[in-house]
Structure 1
């Protein structure tokens, strides 16, 4: 399976409760992912395993989003984080101001492989992997924009 990141929207009340009761949060988020989709008021997205490649591009393009540093830790295991509505709104604004072409200009499969950027498959099909990153980026932009429009925060799952 590998290491993955996913987001699911959350209300301010849910995030507040999660901060006070992490065991409730772990079960709540697990239950959210266990239901049949789609929930009309619950948005979610990967970026799944693409987070490492996207993080590389964000860093190179000086986009301030950091998957494993932003948000606040909910579970001591480091597998569940909360992102406030304000954080989601800020990231949405930055992503909407960052066209894909600005990120793609920093795509360097050889360097990414040398630096062991997760999931380190960049040189097997460089064009296909760039398309994969673009799809993940587009999904991420849509998620953050939609969550921000609804005034939501998010839960971020980090599974390994």
Structure 2
């Protein structure tokens, strides 16, 4: 079984509803995922995004770069009694989404990986393993670029983001 980083854009009103009614939130997340899986909207319009298995390398790289927002795990917990795969979901409020979008936009993937040796990821047991392969750090670039676009669209719409590992 894989661990997959999941993101869901929600309006401020939907965030409030999700916090009050976690069962509604998980059902809403599943509906959006199913709907978008069929029609594959552009990232600027997508409500759901996945970093696939790249979530942990992105966490490692962003922590090393001292990102101002926890983009990978979110910052505020809700539904603490719920398990959406690998623990409860978390979220970022719209103002934190804007800060994150700016940090993502201002930090290229090349900057994130600059000076990083694959051995450091292996030593830190960054998921998924296999960092000794040539070009392994480039593997996560498309997910970082997609995450950047997703957060920028969310920031423009003044959306919050739900985050979980599935």
Normalised by the size of structure 2, how large is the TM-score?
A: 0.84
- Provide the residue aligned with 1:65 in structure 2: 69
- RMSD of equivalent CA atoms: 1.9
Q: Where does structure 1 lack aligned partners over 5 or more consecutive residues?
A: none
Q: Where does structure 2 lack aligned partners over 5 or more consecutive residues?
A: none
- Mapped partners of 1:55, 1:126: distance in 2: 21
- Provide the residue aligned with 1:37 in structure 2: 39
Map Cα deviations across residues 67-114 of structure 1 (whole Å, 9 max, x no partner): 225243335223422322112111001111112222011432112112
Dislocated runs of 4+, deviation >6 Å: none
What are the within-5 Å matches in structure 2 for residues 54-93 of structure 1?
A: 54-66=58-70, 67-76=72-81, 77=83, 78-93=87-102
Map Cα deviations across residues 6-34 of structure 1 (whole Å, 9 max, x no partner): 11211111110010111111111111112
Aligned length, in residue pairs: 157
